[in-house]
């Protein structure tokens, strides 16, 4: 029998979360219902040009996930699978919105499996209302004063307003 069976399962939900949207939260809610522990891990990705500093992204995530006792927020650098291994995680959780996400996610999942075959990537679909929602589009809307209500938590809405005011 697989010795890993019946053990508590930790899943890592990695991403930029620049900033966290209601689509991310939808996925966090789904993940938190299935996994014993869900670690939302903010990637310190040096080649992107973020709007919010990692510290700010973590603060917002911590505030909006506060009610989920099995959800934790962390940061990682370097290879995701190294981080997942260090955290004792057996699952990487990713969201797929549309077919356009699939190719990139497939490549990444296959590459991660090659590096660490013991860790499974699990994909979840958000609620339909969030299937078009991305941090990038939210930032574009907010930059030009567009309505982001309902797309991000109220706290994030305020932070976006402050950034662009």
Q: Is 139 marked active-site?
A: no
Pick the closest to residue 20 from 164, 143, 147, 133 (CA basis). Answer: 133
Q: In the bound complex, what is the minimum distance in angstroms from residue 124's beta carbon to ligand ADP?
A: 7
* Cα 87 to Cα 165: distance, rounded to the nearest angstrom: 39
1-40 footprint of ligand ADP as x/- string (CB under 6 A):
--------------xxx---x-xx--x-------------
* Cα 97 to Cα 109: distance, rounded to the nearest angstrom: 16
* Cα 22 to Cα 47: distance, rounded to the nearest angstrom: 25
> Under the criterion CB under 6 A, does residue 44 sit at the interface with ligand ADP?
no
Task: Select the residue interacting with ligand ADP from 32, 95, 153, 157 (CB under 6 A).
Answer: 95
Q: Is 165 marked active-site?
A: no
Q: Among 48, 136, 143, 161, which one carries the catalytic annotation?
A: 48
Pick the closest to residue 159 from 144, 136, 141, 142 (CA basis). Answer: 142
> Which residue's CB is nearer to ligand ADP, number 7 or number 127?
127
Q: In the bound complex, what is the minimum distance in angstroms from residue 133's beta carbon to ligand ADP?
A: 4
Q: Is 24 marked active-site?
A: yes
Angle at 133 between CA 127 and CA 136, to 5 degrees: 155
Q: Among 16, 57, 94, 135, which one carries the catalytic annotation?
A: 135
Ramachandran sector of residue 3 (left: φ over 0; alpha: ψ -120 to 50; beta: rest): alpha
> Which residue's CB is nearer to ligand ADP, number 37 or number 43?
43
Q: In the bound complex, what is the minimum distance in angstroms from residue 127's beta carbon to ligand ADP?
A: 8
Tokens at 122, concatenated: 């699990």
Catalytically active residues are 24, 48, 97, 135
């Amino acid at each position: 029998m697989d010795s890993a069976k019946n053990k508590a399962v930790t899943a890592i939900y990695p991403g930029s979360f620049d900033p966290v949207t209601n689509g991310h939260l939808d996925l966090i809610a789904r993940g938190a219902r299935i996994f014993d522990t869900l670690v939302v891990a903010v990637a310190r990705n040096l080649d992107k040009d973020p709007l919010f500093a990692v510290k700010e992204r973590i603060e917002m995530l911590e505030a909006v996930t506060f009610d989920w006792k099995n959800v934790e927020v962390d940061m990682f650098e370097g290879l995701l699978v190294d981080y997942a291994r260090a955290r004792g995680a057996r699952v990487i959780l990713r969201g797929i919105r549309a077919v356009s996400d699939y190719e990139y996610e497939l490549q990444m999942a296959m590459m991660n499996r090659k590096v660490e075959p013991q860790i499974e990537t699990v994909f979840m679909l958000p609620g339909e209302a969030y299937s078009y929602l991305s941090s990038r589009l939210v930032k574009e809307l907010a930059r030009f004063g567009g309505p982001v209500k309902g797309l991000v938590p109220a706290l994030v809405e305020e932070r976006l307003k402050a950034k662009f005011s």
